[in-house]
Amino acid sequence: MASTILPALNPLLRRPIVEQATGDSRSTLYRKIQKGLFTRPVRIGGERVAWPSNEVQAINQARIAGKSDEEIKALVIELEVARAGA
């Protein structure tokens, strides 16, 4: 039997889960997006949006590590460029 290699899963998280994961309210989350401190959501159909879990985790880890807003802005750019290249 041939073995199949599955790509690593990267679940999409809906806004309430992202709010819970970050501790941010909806308005704070969208304010951070406007300031470049959080990645933009991915459209998943209709008016529904979600965020790749790896991006939420990377931003949370940067915050925990004490990264500055400028460093997080650079991370957000890096994550969105990687998303576009996927």
**pLDDT, tens digit, for every residue of 33-73?**
999 999 999 999 999 999 999 999 999 999 999 999 999 99
Q: Which of the listed CATH numbers 2.120.10.30, 3.40.1110.10, 1.10.1660.10, 1.20.140.10 matches domain 12-85?
A: 1.10.1660.10
Give me 83's structure tokens: 């998303």
Neighbours of 36 (CB within 10 A): 16
Percent of the chain at pLDDT above 70? 92
Q: Which of 30, 21, 10 is nearest to 61 (CA)?
A: 21
Q: What integer best gives the mean pLDDT of the chain?
A: 93
Residue with tokens 């790509």: 7
Question: Which sign does the torsion angle of CA 21, 23, 29, 35 carry?
Answer: negative
pLDDT at 4 over 80: no
Distance CA 3, CA 9 (A): 18
Measured in whole angstroms, the distance separating CA 75 from the mean position of its chain's CA atoms is 10
What are the structural domain ranges in the chain? 12-85
pLDDT at 1 over 70: no
